[in-house]
Structure 1
Amino acid sequence: MRMLDTMTGPERFEDAFSGNLLLSTFSTEVRQLLQSDADLVDLDVGQRVLTRGQDVDWSYFPFGTTMISLVVELSDGRSVQVASIGREGAVGGIVSCGHAPAFAEAKVIVGGPAMRVPMKVLEHAKGQSSFLKNLFCRFSDYLLAEVMQSATCNSFHSIQQRAARWLLTAQDRAGDRIELTQEALAELLGVQRTTVNAVVGALQDQGLISARRGRVIVVDRAGLKRHACECYSAVKDHFGAVIGPSGSGGSPDC
């Protein structure tokens, strides 16, 4: 992880506050509650920003193409993704109030920039701003919905449906060119590399994606949506319902 110091003063945070969908809802007053204690960092692929059992000290707000995966690991080495977060959200201490140990590992799957805020600063800001408290209440609801939908998806839908869903979500966050190895995709889906090779090959043969070493390009989004399960639209629609562009969804109440 590297600090981003290409600019000085408030201007260096403009990309973060415009590029993250939670931060973009902040008024000037709410923004000032966090900005003076925040850092801009560049996250590397594979980096862990949360480790299971360790206290959460920082909250991370990805922007740009950055994506972070919440992963549950078993004692035999197997793992599966339960949620992924990009420019629409935040990782670390959002659901809990105050210091608490992390339950899942949080790994960077697409590297890039993020704004990070000390947990104690974020908790103080929640106490100062009813908007901020409401916003994170709503994001907690969205994140829980994503986890529940992932559990349903992993139980009932095919690997190809799940892969198509994940690639659509990644495209929403990172654009058409997704910097992702097939090994990483296999880990995210909780399957063997050979299984992912077959699925990626099938999607590529149908002209939906183009796969190169360490990169997947979405060629036919509409076709990919036809192959994805209903879980993609369900989670995306719920984000619009509870958060949306204003941060308060369709209702001002949490």
Structure 2
Amino acid sequence: MPHRKNFLLNRLEPTILAQIEPHLTTVEIRHQEVLAETHQRIEKVYFPHSGIISCVVELVGGGAIETGMIGNDGEFGASQALDDKVSLNHVVMQVTGKASVISSDRIRVAANELPAFRGLLVKYEQFFVSQVQQTAACNAVHSIQARTCKWLLRMHELAGPDLELTQEFLAQMMGVRRTSVTEVAGDLQKSGMMTYRRGRIHIVDLEQVRAWGCECDSDIRSHYRRIFQSNESAR
């Protein structure tokens, strides 16, 4: 069943997923496709199978910074849909992938009728808030090099060792100047951690990237395990 490629949907009992499945469709979402604009009403909820969804805070001066990544371990739009609210961020597909999609109206009905499903969505919202809080602390305290490595670790976890993105995009997601990213990327290449050619990053030495990164990646993983009472192999 393709919908079980999403970790949250895969955790549902077969009888519960069977009640939701008729209302799910599978779609491919392309790189840079916008899923929601800031203050836009949420019409669809996405459960990724692959790829990465990025939540970005846009600033009045034209800058932007990423506050959270969503992959096949989560969903986007459920908490807003349950309360009939709008998106607080600009939400864009960072890495092309597929997802199970359900309308906001239908997910509200399903969550009210299926307490186990609603409980799962609430747990993920708790995790996502913890990820945003960790990211805020990381952006305030840690060096650009450590943050870049943490960012690459999360990307690798969700999308694998080959990432198609530009330094301009990476700089925007981290809220720093492109020159800073260029310098850090050069250091990582010289140390043999990754290669970067024409907008494509290939992670060569994951353990070294982890050693250069801050503790935030492992802390985020720990939050996830504690909330879902799972281990890495279950993911």
Write out aligned runs for 1:56-205 (5 A): 56-64=42-50, 66-94=51-79, 97-205=82-190
Q: Deviations over 1:131-161 (max 9, x none)?
A: 1111111101100000000000000001111
Q: 1:50 to 1:133 in 2, by over 3 A?
A: same
Q: Kindly provide the amino acid, as one letter, of the partner of residue 16 in structure 1.
A: H
2:6 alignment partner in structure 1? 20
Residues in 1 aligned to 2:65 and 2:95: alpha-carbon distance in whole angstroms: 17
1:42 alignment partner in structure 2? 28
Is the CA contact 2:40–2:87 (under 8 Å) kept in the aligned structure 1? yes
RMSD: 1.6
What stretches of structure 2 of length at least 5 have no aligned partner?
none
State the SS of the aligned residue for 1:216.
strand
Per-residue deviation, 1:93: 2.8
1:4 alignment partner in structure 2? none
Residues in 2 aligned to 1:220 and 1:244: alpha-carbon distance in whole angstroms: 29
Is the CA contact 1:95–1:136 (under 8 Å) kept in the aligned structure 2? no
TM-score by length of 2: 0.94
Per-residue deviation, 1:216: 1.1
2:212 alignment partner in structure 1? 227
1:8 alignment partner in structure 2? none
Is the CA contact 2:38–2:87 (under 8 Å) kept in the aligned structure 1? yes
TM-score by length of 1: 0.87
Q: 1:115 to 1:83 in 2, by over 3 A?
A: same
What stretches of structure 1 of length at least 5 have no aligned partner?
1-13, 250-254
State the SS of the aligned residue for 1:89.
coil
Residues in 1 aligned to 2:174 and 2:19: alpha-carbon distance in whole angstroms: 38
Residues in 2 aligned to 1:173 and 1:244: alpha-carbon distance in whole angstroms: 20
Residues in 2 aligned to 1:95 and 1:208: alpha-carbon distance in whole angstroms: 39
Is the CA contact 2:82–2:107 (under 8 Å) kept in the aligned structure 1? no
- Structure 2 residue aligned with 1:238, among 206, 223, 235? 223
Residues in 2 aligned to 1:25 and 1:200: alpha-carbon distance in whole angstroms: 38
1:29 aligned onto 2:40: no
Residues in 2 aligned to 1:108 and 1:125: alpha-carbon distance in whole angstroms: 26
Per-residue deviation, 1:214: 2.1
Per-residue deviation, 1:245: 4.5
Residues in 2 aligned to 1:214 and 1:40: alpha-carbon distance in whole angstroms: 28
Per-residue deviation, 1:15: 2.8
Residues in 2 aligned to 1:33 and 1:182: alpha-carbon distance in whole angstroms: 44
Residues in 1 aligned to 2:27 and 2:194: alpha-carbon distance in whole angstroms: 31
Q: 1:244 to 1:200 in 2, by over 3 A?
A: farther
Q: Deviations over 1:30-88 (max 9, x none)?
A: 21232212221111111110111111111011112x10110000111100001111111
